Structure 1
Amino acid sequence: MNRVALIAHDARKDELVAWVGRHVERLRRCTMVATGTTGARIKAAFPDLDLTSVKSGPLGGDQQIGAMIAEARLDMLIFFIDPLSPMPHDVDVKALTRLGTLYDLPMALNDATADRIMQGW
């Protein structure tokens, strides 16, 4: 079973929920983890998904996801960032992308790339 992490900045949460909706049948076969608010939004829209929420990103959730990457407990990272907003979480974005790159994890930072990754699964 594939293990997927889902994270979205505030301005991108609606887009990630919509993305999950487009891929919900495939995601039903996955185990998913999401940061706090993102996970709550996805769970509200799709209550039957196998989704575990960790802490909110700025409260440690991004680091929890990072630890899962380092421990090889994830198969894919979908992280919809907002490149036009001030980046108070800039260090978290850099840390997650660094770990995803280091551990050769399929990773998408936008809708188009996330769609491409899902096509290959």
Structure 2
Amino acid sequence: MNLDYPYRFDARGATAEADEEAYLRGLIEQVLFTAPGERLMRPEFGSGIQQLLFAPNSPEVAATAQFLVQGALQQWLGDLIALQSVQVETADSTLRVTIAYAVRRTGQVQTATFERAGAAP
């Protein structure tokens, strides 16, 4: 069973389920935007890019974010996805992360983009 993210109940009052594509996207989002130390039973879980969202946007911040994203996704989801590329862009006050990956079970290639606003320039 693949739980939907964010957690919710379906029309029957049961835990909502997601198809594999939505499930993996939810897992990626959780890794990206969970700060290490945020989860009590898994204090090392997360990528740490959340702390970069309020730094002034720059190529250095984007490169650091790309490094953090690649490492975290390989560590936490490496058994489910094979990363093909990670692209991090900064524009105005937004950090945009685009991830291309292959689903290990099927070999199907997916691309997902995630955005978070940071500090104003």
Flag whether TM exceeds 0.5 (same fold): no
Q: TM-score, normalised by structure 1?
A: 0.27
Q: TM-score, normalised by structure 2?
A: 0.27
Greater RCO between the two (CA within 8 Å, min separation 6)? 1
Q: Which has the higher helix share?
A: 1
